[in-house]
Chain A
Amino acid sequence: MNEYVQKIEDLAKEMGEVRIMEVCGGHTNTIMRYGIREVLPSNIKLISGPGCPVCVTSQYDIDCMIELALSGVKVATYGDMINVPGTKMSLKDAQAQGADVKMIYSADQIIDEKDRVFFAVGFETTTPMTARLLQQGITVFCAHKLIPPAMRVLVQEMKIDGFIDPGHVSTIIGEDIWSELDIPAPQVISGFKPEQLIKATYVLLDLIKNKEKEVVNEYPEVVFSKGNPIATKIIEETMKVVDSEWRGMGTIPQSSLAPKDPKLDARIVYKDILKNVVSQENKECRCGEIVRGMIEPRDCKLFGQGCTPENPQGACMVSESEGACAIAFKYGKSLSE
């Protein structure tokens, strides 16, 4: 299949169990789609990390948006977010009850709507677009998540020997940030093609074997040392780094952004509406463990049994391109049929 598969097999013979985490949901998609886990030797484990923005958005934040929408505030958010179940309903259910919920594919679609609150989700890749909206005076409920602080937490709480770093997050923030992270595991920035991910796995194994903690950029076509400087500048101008609650991971210090201008921060502007929001996660749903790579989707008893992409009980079953459960459902099903 690929010269690197053979090289991986040769290296793996000299190593014990190796646990590699891919942090990006786009990578998880390629890995599952092409069955990359199956071509790797049994002692080389690829673990899916928290790389699905919809999945790691806290229940409380979703409930806040539903509360705003039901209170008559016009809201907008990206695609899958409207299907994620909150404590009582999803944004889509709120829409069915008459709330004004606009699903958008580009920030550009609401750039002239100053009376609409944007529910900003996504990792670093999606943050410059939110910065542009703030520059235009759009109010934002910010639930962006920053990947490096989450990796720092994960590497402390479980055995991870190396990370495959996200590609397009790195396009924005640059290669240097990963070196500054200073974690006791090597990292390889990878593109999204199957052969790129296999090569990234090989490069990581080689680093792990030689006990090196370096960061290697295997996606230099679009990842530069300082990222995209125009994007990072407008993010810095409009937003500040704040602590944030992640589904399944609790509060991670300095892992999100908030508008610098309090008049554009929906958490402040609408605090009277939001003060009564009470959230409760579905106790049977194990999304929290799935986003941390602690269990596989099939270990959850709701998986395929009442929780399906058509009727998701938890956030990980919503996004078919990034949610670990939705991806496992999609490809698991097609494999067994």
Chain B
Amino acid sequence: MCLAIPGKVIEITGDKAVADFGGLKRKVDVSLIDQCKVSDYVLVHVGFAIQKIDEPTARETYRLLSEMDKEAMNEELRANHE
């Protein structure tokens, strides 16, 4: 339940953003991130971005998660359809 998934912020309005997770777009609350911008990569847990990350880390983590724990990742992404 402490799983967090990296996504790329593609739209942002105030605290509400849309992030791309390997082609799936989901709503993400970015109120816990200082100065979140479009194109930032963020680590998302239960619909909230908890930290910014760099792009290589994001890509590598996403690749690993998708082969390692697809079910848990899908569960995490089941919410907040954009």
Contacts and interface: CB of A to CB of B under 8 A. Distances in A.
A228 interface: yes
Contacts of A187: none
Contact of A106 (B31, B46, B54, B57): B46
Contacts of A266: none
A304 to B, nearest CB: 20
A126 interface: yes
Interface in A80-134: 80, 104-109, 121-123, 125-126, 128-129, 132
Interface string B46-81: 111011011001000100110011011001101110
A192 B79 CA distance: 22
B50 A228 contact: yes
Nearest to B65: A192
A255 to B, nearest CB: 16
B2 A222 contact: no
B51 A228 contact: yes
B1 interface: yes
A69 interface: no
Contact of B54 (A25, A30, A221): A221
A270 to B, nearest CB: 24
Contacts of A48: none
Given A105-B80, A222-B43, A230 B27 contact: no
Nearest to A111: B29
Nearest to A29: B69
Nearest to B57: A221
A129 B47 contact: yes
B3 interface: yes
A320 B71 contact: yes
Contacts of A123: 1-2
Interface size grouping (class) on chain A: 35 or more
A230 B31 contact: yes
B80 A125 contact: no
Contacts of B78: 105
Contacts of A78: 1, 46
Contact of A230 (B4, B33, B43, B76): B33
Given A106-B47, A126-B46, A168 B75 contact: no
B1 A166 contact: no
Contacts of A319: 1
- From B31, B50, B68, B80, name the one whose CB has the most chain A CB atoms within 10 angstroms: B50
Interface in A228-264: 228, 230-231, 234
Interface in A122-178: 122-123, 125-126, 128-129, 132, 166-169, 171-172
A228 B50 CA distance: 7
Contacts of A301: none
Contacts of A108: 27, 29, 47-48, 79-80
B2 A122 contact: yes
Nearest to B48: A129
A218 interface: no
B79 A26 contact: no
- From B1, B27, B64, B78, name the one whose CB has the most chain A CB atoms within 10 angstroms: B1
13 contacts: A33-B69, A54-B1, A80-B1, A121-B1, A125-B2, A128-B50, A129-B45, A168-B4, A192-B3, A221-B54, A222-B43, A230-B31, A322-B1
* Closest 5 A/B residue pairs (Cβ): A106-B47, A105-B79, A321-B72, A106-B79, A125-B2
Given A105-B75, A106-B29, 5 more contacts: A78-B46, A105-B80, A109-B47, A168-B2, A172-B50
